[in-house]
Amino acid sequence: MNLNEFFYDDPAEKSLEHLAVDGGYCGILRSVACVGDSLDSGEIEIFDAQDKRYCIDKFEYSWLSYFGRVTGNEVRHFTRGGMSAMEYVETFANGHGLWDRKLACNAYVVTLACNDISQMLCGEVEFGTWDDIDFQDYHNNKKTFMGYYATILQRYREISPRCRIFLVLSLMKLEEERLPYFRKIQTFLQELSQKMRFVYFMDLYQNGPVVDEAFTKKFFMNGHMTPAGYLLKGRIFTSYMDYIIRHNLDDFTQIATIGEDLFDPKYTW
């Protein structure tokens, strides 16, 4: 028996070197929610014959639905086209009951950033600093992008105390004016994953495909992905999450006890 056929174990492996076509070890998560925007809602952007624009969220085509089908996990779309961290905290989550403990999951994937950059460019919200985050009490967080983003993580940790959280910058086309904010968010998420336990940053722009003209021609229609693009994204996300689990096995030993009162103190909780 070749164990590598069942558990790929190469310390030098890169994050997207091994494709988890069957969902890999993501299957141990069992319940996963995504906090995101149109790029996580399977949104299709279409212009009709009169050049009128339509944007339709099609959850069945989202990367998360693909992820759920291949892993067998229960998935929850905490997403909507146009979503930002500010809107999520201020109105959307409360308005849709998304802080309800009945919806608690073992893992959360947070992909917000695209619309947040738009808000920062037009002055609706400031980027913020680390001083805007109170890691002991999210009620004290400031109303900046950093403050709102951290609040989302902290609130879901309150609802599901031992959940695992994956932070991602979705694959998107990056115009020149958006690039400085994108780089700041990239750094923020990397550092945030180091400050909070069991939080992992999936850096697709360091390790994933280049979103260039050839990529967008294949996988985008207007400003959003095609169904094939979302499926590709699902394969990428699934493979990256599988890589994180396999390279941090101690962090996932007791994933089955999330939501239970008991856990074994001899192992990583």
| Residue 179 pLDDT | 92
Distance CA 180, CA 160 (A): 34
Pairing of strands 31-36, 107-110: parallel
| Residue 206 pLDDT | 87
Distance CA 141, CA 164 (A): 21
- Give me the long-range contacts of 194-201 (CB less than 8 A, separation at least 24): 195/135, 196/135, 196/153, 196/157, 196/165, 198/162, 198/163, 198/164, 198/165, 198/251, 199/153, 199/164, 199/165, 199/166, 199/167, 200/164, 200/165, 200/166, 200/167, 200/244, 200/248, 201/166, 201/167, 201/168
- Cβ(150)–Cβ(195) below 8 Å: no
- Rounded to a whole number of angstroms, the CA Rg of the chain reads 18
| Residue 129 pLDDT | 98
- Residue 198: strand, helix, or coil: coil
Q: What is the pLDDT along the chain (269 residues), one digit of tens a residue?
A: 787 778 888 889 999 998 998 999 999 999 999 999 999 999 999 999 999 999 999 999 999 999 999 999 999 999 999 999 999 999 999 999 999 999 999 999 999 999 999 999 999 999 999 999 999 999 999 999 999 999 999 999 999 999 999 999 988 878 889 999 999 999 999 999 999 999 999 999 889 998 999 999 999 999 899 999 999 999 999 999 999 999 999 999 999 999 888 888 888 77
| Residue 173 pLDDT | 77
For 79, the token pair is 């997403």
251 alpha-carbon distance from chain centroid: 18
98 alpha-carbon distance from chain centroid: 16
- Cβ(137)–Cβ(147) below 8 Å: no
Apex 64 CA angle, 62 and 66, nearest 5: 75
- Residues whose CB is less than 8 angstroms from the CB of residue 68 and which lie 6 or more positions away in sequence, other chains included: 32, 74, 75
Distance CA 187, CA 163 (A): 23
Distance CA 48, CA 46 (A): 6
Query: E strands within 89-139?
Result: 107-110
Nearest CA to 238 among 114, 63, 80, 17?
Answer: 63
